[in-house]
Chain A
Amino acid sequence: MRHVSKLFSNGTLALKDMSLDVQRGEFLSLLGPSGCGKSTALRIIAGLGAPSTGQIDWPSSKINSKGLPEGDVGFVFQEPTLMPWQTVWGNVYLPLRLRGVSKRDADPAIMEVLASVGLADFTKSYPRELSGGMKMRVSIARALVTKPKLLLMDEPFAALDEITRQKLNDDVLRLWRETGITVIFVTHSVFESAFLSNRIVVMRARPGQVYADLPLITSGVRDENYRTSEEYRATTDTVSRALQEAIMRGAQAK
């Protein structure tokens, strides 16, 4: 999966000549200060708003009218973005429903993905009956129900408390390992990106650009022990320093 330079402006220059190659199966974090255009970049990849210049290249040949590979992209927004009038089941059914899949045909896939996020018992619940973390799980299930090759996550856990967030991070990591999906994860948390990714792209603001590209190779399994390991601490140090420099550059440019 490779996409080349995309230049974007909407009055302000949100992204300037940003280029990024994403490898298949990668867990890539886009990390940067707020306003550096990381969400903009993600939305452009998702086809929500076209780039001003530049383009996104997909390896797949089947491209739909929106310039996206057919059914290959799942998106998790910052908020759970659930339909309050639909049950959990109905919310996860949505992507399939829009493709014209019947309820009966969709049911196995929906039940499977709900089980994988630990919500098998809540199919008939309405979003208002769920906690914030559970709503986010529904949102993730909905993004995964089409079995996409690329999962885009836009600061999905920013509004959650630390404990819930760690739990969801564990789950996302497990789902990533199990499915072999490519993930692009936008975050402003050094710790989150260091825990999850095997590559961190640090962005700077004004204009939004790639500042540093840090591959992370971890020897062991990323679990509770990893969170307290020396290796994790070294990683977060490196990433923090890169982020600090990126922020300084952005401030100077101003």
Chain B
Amino acid sequence: MTDAVPMSKASAEAGTDSQVAVVVSRSSVGERVLSIVIPVFMVILAIAAWQAHIMINQVPRYIMPAPLDVVTALFTDWGTLSPSLLVTLRITLMALSLALVGGVGLAIILVQSRWIELALFPFAVILQVTPMIAIAPLLIIYMPDTQSALLTCAFVVAFFPILSNMVAGLKSVDHNLLNLFELYGASRWQTLIHLKLPSSLPYFAAGLRIGGGLSLIAAVVAEFAAGSAGKGSGLAFRLLESGYRLNYPRLYAALVLLMVTGVAIFALTSLISWAMLHRWHESALKREN
């Protein structure tokens, strides 16, 4: 393991009005390298174990493909998989953007008055608690086409965590800061822009990360439930189709694409929340002691 590194705690204790700012402690280089090497190594190890299991026990490919088969399928079937990936990706990202705009927008409206909240919140809750998989077939009927039905499903699922997080964030503004804004005669608009929205950024970040993951899951589940076929179909359809045809390498390749997409969305939303919060919020900071 790494050697103990002296922490820069010199100024942390200087509580009396010292002329030094607290220096943020850094982790050592070795620790940083290990924090990347360990997870990567574990994943490689797992894949190698998988490959070994298939080869040693001679598991047939129509039961479970080896990692190498999956990689091969990724390349050979790229022509079929990539359009589906784009479809799923588009639905996911559009649903997430709509959920962000809708969730934040509705949250701002809801917190304006208790009456508006009472009037609208039941609908938000009903939408949330109704299993999306149960209403997906209905949406296929009501919506003009499959794409918009899938989009609606993914939107509904991603929308609620963003809404409820934003409502919580907008409501938990420091009361003293609200007093301060009132004292300086700030308008409602100014209070929203300069106080309520910035102070609810941590909640927004939480909603974004949850909503990002959910919108992908919902886009896939909705396609499973609603069913789609032919050219405009997403990765979920490719999963089903490959399953019916016992083309397991391709099924696994589609799964891998979904996983990679999920990880990418998670990384992206985490990066966004880090960018918003790392200067000031506890959740993005290391403890100094």
Contacts and interface: CB of A to CB of B under 8 A. Distances in A.
Interface string B23-67: 000000000000000000000000000000000000000000000
Contact of B184 (A95, A121, A161): A95
Contact of A75 (B16, B180, B280, B281): B180
A133 B152 CA distance: 53
A130 B201 CA distance: 22
Given A75-B180, A79-B176, A128-B280, A85 B17 contact: no
Contacts of B15: 131-133, 161, 164
B104 to A, nearest CB: 17
Among A43, A77, A128, residue most surrounded by chain B Cβ atoms (within 10 Å): A128
Interface string B126-140: 000000000000000
Interface residues of B, number: 29
B195 interface: yes
A23 interface: no
B184 A94 contact: yes
Given A77-B180, A131-B15, A133-B16, A83 B185 contact: no
Contact of B194 (A65, A66, A97): A97
B102 interface: no
B227 interface: no
B170 to A, nearest CB: 15
Contact of B181 (A79, A98, A118): A98
B183 A163 contact: no
B182 to A, nearest CB: 6
A161 B16 contact: yes
Interface string A95-138: 10111000000000000000000100110011111111110010
B180 A81 contact: yes
A48 interface: yes
Contacts of A122: 21
B285 interface: yes
B185 A65 contact: yes
B194 A85 contact: no
A131 B199 contact: no
Nearest to B201: A85
B164 to A, nearest CB: 22
B198 interface: yes
Interface in B237-289: 279-281, 285
- The SS class assigned to the B binding surface is loop
Interface in A197-222: none
A125 B185 contact: no
B282 to A, nearest CB: 8
B190 interface: yes
A84 interface: yes
B194 A94 contact: yes
Nearest to A78: B176
Contact of B177 (A43, A48, A83): A83
B116 to A, nearest CB: 25
A168 interface: yes
B17 A167 contact: yes
A133 B177 CA distance: 19
B2 interface: no
Nearest to B177: A81
B101 interface: no
B14 A131 contact: yes
A247 interface: no
B179 A48 contact: yes
A46 interface: yes
Interface in A35-55: 43, 46-48
Nearest to B18: A131
Contact of B186 (A73, A98, A130): A98
A84 B199 CA distance: 8
A164 B22 contact: no
Contacts of B279: 85, 126
B174 interface: yes
B190 A98 contact: yes
A84 B184 contact: no
Contact of A163 (B16, B22, B185, B194): B16
A169 to B, nearest CB: 12
A129 B185 contact: no
Contacts of A167: 17
A60 interface: no
A151 to B, nearest CB: 12
Interface of B: 14-19, 21-22, 174, 176-177, 179-186, 190, 194-195, 198-199, 201, 279-281, 285
10 contacts: A43-B179, A47-B183, A48-B179, A64-B185, A73-B183, A126-B279, A130-B22, A131-B14, A133-B16, A168-B17
